[in-house]
Amino acid sequence: MPETILVTGGAGYVGSHVAVALVRAGYAPVVLDNYANSTPAVLPRLRALAGYAVPAVQADVRDAEALRTVFRDYPIAAVIHCAGLKAVGESEVRPLAYYDVNVGGAIVLAQVMGEAGVAGLVFSSSASVYGEPDALPIAEDAPLRPHSVYGRTKRVVEDFLCDLARANANWRIALLRYFNPAGADPSGLLGEAARGRPNNLVPLLGKIAAGELADLTVHGGDWPTADGTGVRDYLHVQDLAEGHVAALRYLAGARGALPINLGAGRGHSVLEIVAAFERACGRRIAKTIARRRPGDVAACYADATRAAQLLQWRTTRDLDAICADAWRWQQGGGRY
């Protein structure tokens, strides 16, 4: 019998790709989502792609009774917790919502997992916990100085999960620090369906190439980087999803809570991403170099050694694949 894995936020951008990767790895995912930042329209596509009727429950991860019902209805062996609010800019103007959902939701989930005796947890954390790095590439033992409310909520959850694991040795927790996920399933069936204007660079380029947005405002051309534009560690969302499966496998023989970077281990500048996207779509991306965006850092990319050594995981899809798959998703409408 395949192990049943609860994926909170499983109708979202990362969660839906994780659910497909789980089925392909022989697990039986159950999706839980409140559809606050996603839509049930993803489910038939997810099921078609996975070749399996993935069960889905509409519920809010802060609703303890709803979670208890899920743990009663399904033989949950472990949880992948993707549900949360993730817009950095929005977090600055809605701090209460971000602490309520991201921190409050994780507390309720851990409470119900404890009651159900389920100890395996893969938590969707973020490289934004690092803030401005002292050194590059960034290793997991780098100081945590998040710049944003969003990043601080992720650090609070990491701290509380580490305290939980110290108090009870049964817990097995992977804290996955995502760098910059991008791209989409090559089928064109799943992708990043942002509500309104996308926050992140790669989906923005798709909207500009499709003529839905006019041009790209490059946030800063005077950063201390090779071409003056911001450098980030972009990884394909499928690589990221497979990293969750690898973390689940690792937890089967682990104890405690461990942060693990999920990144390509190298950085690309904004201009390099624009050039790669132009190659993928065969169109020019109009751009204006403007002033820096508050809260941005010059460069941020992962030391991905721990994931390679402990999870036997590394990225396998390159920048051209990210842009080709993101463009294919956009050409299909870029929405559900």
Tokens of 50: 């996975």
CB of 291 to ligand WQD, least distance (A): 11
Instruction: State whether the Cα torsion 215-185-232-194 is positive or negative.
Output: positive
Could you give the residue ranges of the DSSP H alpha helices within 128-269? 149-167, 201-209, 237-251
Q: Among 88, 101, 142, 326, which residue interacts with ligand WQD (rule: CB under 6 A)?
A: 88
DSSP annotation of 116 reads H
DSSP type of residue 101: I
Strand extents, DSSP E, 67-199: 76-81, 120-126, 172-178, 180-182
Question: Which one, 9 or 54, has the nearer CB to ligand WQD?
Answer: 9
Of residues 4, 39, 199, 305, which one binds ligand WQD by CB under 6 A? 199
317 forms part of the interface with ligand WQD (CB under 6 A): no
Among 126, 238, 315, 330, binds ligand WQD (CB under 6 A): 126
Task: Please tell me the distance from the alpha carbon of residue 285 to that of residue 131, in angstroms, as a whole number.
Answer: 29
Q: Which residues in 232-271 contact ligand WQD (CB under 6 A)?
A: 232, 270
CA 138 from centroid of its chain's CA atoms: 18
Pair 229, 220: CB distance under 8 Å: yes
> Applying CB under 6 A, does 37 fall inside the site for ligand WQD?
no
Return the range that interacts with ligand WQD (CB under 6 A); candidates 22-30, 59-67, 167-175, 215-223.
215-223
User: Of residues 163-192, which lie at the interface with ligand WQD (CB under 6 A)?
Assistant: 178, 180
> Per CB under 6 A, does 291 bind ligand WQD?
no
CB of 300 to ligand WQD, least distance (A): 6
Residue 102 sits in the site that holds ligand WQD (CB under 6 A): no
13 vs 27, beta carbon nearer ligand WQD: 13
Residue 333 region by backbone torsions, left for phi larger than 0, else alpha for psi between -120 and 50, else beta = left
150 is catalytic: yes
Query: SS3 of 80, please?
Result: strand
Q: How far is residue 272's CA from residue 315's CA, in Å, rounded to a whole number?
A: 18
Instruction: Tell me which stretch binds ligand WQD (CB under 6 A): 29-37, 55-63, 134-142, 195-203.
Output: 195-203
Binding site for ligand WQD (CB under 6 A): 86, 88, 126, 128, 178, 180, 199-201, 204, 216-219, 230, 232, 270, 293, 296
| Active-site residue list | 150
